[in-house]
Amino acid sequence: MTHPIHDQVRAALEACGATAPEGTDLHARTPITGEQLMGLRATTAEELEGVLVSAEQAFTAWRDTPAPVRGALVKRWGELLAEHKDDLAVLVTAEAGKIPSEAAGEVQEMIDICELAVGLSRQLFGRTMPSERPGHRMMETWHPLGVVGVITAFNFPVAPYAWNTAVALVCGNSIVWKPSEATLLCALATDALLARAARDVGAPEGLHHVLVADRTLGEKLVDDTRVALVSATGSTRMGAEVGPRVAARFGRSLLELGGNNAAIVAPSADLDLALRGVAFAAVGTAGQRCTTMRRLIIHEDVAEEFVERLVQAYGTLTIGDPSTGESLVGPLVHEGAHTAYAEALEAARAQGGELLCGGERVLADEFPDAYYVQPAIVRMPEQTEIVRTETFAPILYVMTYRELDEAIALHNDVPQGLSSAIFTTDVREAERFVSDAGSDCGIANVNIGTSGAEIGGAFGGEKHTGGGRESGSDAWRAYMRRATNTVNYSDELPLAQGVEFL
């Protein structure tokens, strides 16, 4: 008997006005059951060439459109996203395996970033600087880059695309999107709504494109000199390939890569609050967020009590089909993710770890082609090699500390630097954690978990996380080029630094 998600997917695509190019090159699949949803025809290399030509042509018209007028497109897109929030959430659940509230939350991020970008369209500010020469004015201006290539991952199939696209569009760029092969239907629906918005406001044709493609075509996008900026979200391994290739052609890259996120639980922490924060951050999206909490560094005075309570909380988690709305933990994305989960737990045991709970595959009889697992907590004697390695699965490694400086050093001693947190009611501890001598991550939170960033702040991390910033604050600058202008409004021509010539 066919799972209801099949009919829900087709209805959602139709509601969004999306047409899936049917074929046999690629296959849309749902991790809920492991079944194929439909076959898709892949974009060809010849079609990519046409896409890039079209995007370049659209850019030349779009860059001359006043920024507040460009904002009208994003405003309309946001309205359509809100209108079809439930449809898109169905697709996110179907292809990424998220529970309904998390899927709806991701779509809400798209709506929120559209609202932010509309305001931004009237705030692309430059500076005016004093000149040392009389009768001169200095200023900086910001200009669109050109074609922006966006590469996204399966775990957040639509929100990071919107972070990039809403902002890049108001900055005057055109977009070519290479989504994850695992979430192509989400991409087609999202792009269809943007196409409708573009028609509604009279935006240039060819302003945005989506590629139904595998890695091969993605590499062509990365290597093409017509793509001014490549914004790539994914693994550190992927970023290590993309960054140098873009740099070799003197292009720009914006990298949002892996995270090995940790929380410190201090002896003064509100343990009830910390329990909720840790549980969601460690288990949400079945541990498949880049901001998932993977390490818990807890003061030895409260470790026994807190970990016992956390193990009990894990025992209440409902694991199962996320589309029913009755589960808190959905499936891993595919068999490879389950293999990584099992191998990481085996390595943790070999490196002295003690499995406190979880660690097993479940529901295999009901869903033999899907991969549901029990979230695991592992007590580690120290920060071993496997702890320093990001595994995209619900595994939380627990370690203890005595002094805060020791905890911060342990926290920072991993290659990744995305998100971090401390739970404490001691203002000195809180301030130290967010100070220069504290967390070395791009996100440092106090009394909230590592997941769930708001769009108003710049999102991104340091070290092997790539250094990119998306979403709010001044992240818009990544999508523009800066020019310094000097205007001489006098009838003299003094040279800077007192140089005399002729």
Helix (H, G, I), strand (E, B) or coil at 28: strand
Rounded to whole angstroms, the Cα distance separating 465 from 471 reads 16
Which residues contact residue 295 at a Cβ distance below 8 angstroms, ignoring those fewer than 6 apart? Answer: 260, 261, 262, 263, 383, 387, 396, 397, 398, 399, 411, 414
226: closest CA among 74, 42, 471, 60? 60
Strands 419-423 and 261-265: parallel
Rounded to whole angstroms, the Cα distance separating 11 from 249 reads 43
259: closest CA among 295, 205, 307? 295
DSSP structure class, residue 323:
G
Rounded to whole angstroms, the Cα distance separating 409 from 404 reads 9
Set 95, 256, 429, 470: catalytic member: 256
- Residue 256 annotated among the catalytic residues of the structure: yes
Provide the residue type at 391 as one letter: T
Dmax over CA atoms of the chain, in Å, equals: 88
How far apart, in Å, are the Cα atoms of 312 and each of 275, 315, 422? Answer: 11, 5, 22
Sheet bearing 443-446, strands edge to edge: 354-357, 376-379, 395-401, 293-299, 261-265, 419-423, 443-446
Helix (H, G, I), strand (E, B) or coil at 149: strand
Rounded to whole angstroms, the Cα distance separating 459 from 175 reads 20
Rounded to whole angstroms, the Cα distance separating 176 from 17 reads 19
User: Please, which residues bridge with residue 485 across strands?
Assistant: 139
Rounded to whole angstroms, the Cα distance separating 406 from 409 reads 5
DSSP for 243-303? Answer: HHHHHHTT-EEEEE----EEEEE-TTS-HHHHHHHHHHHHHGGGG-STT-EEEEEEEHHHH
Which residues contact residue 261 at a Cβ distance below 8 angstroms, ignoring those fewer than 6 apart? Answer: 281, 291, 292, 293, 294, 295, 416, 418, 419, 420, 421, 441, 450
Rounded to whole angstroms, the Cα distance separating 144 from 5 reads 41
Which of the residues are catalytic? 256
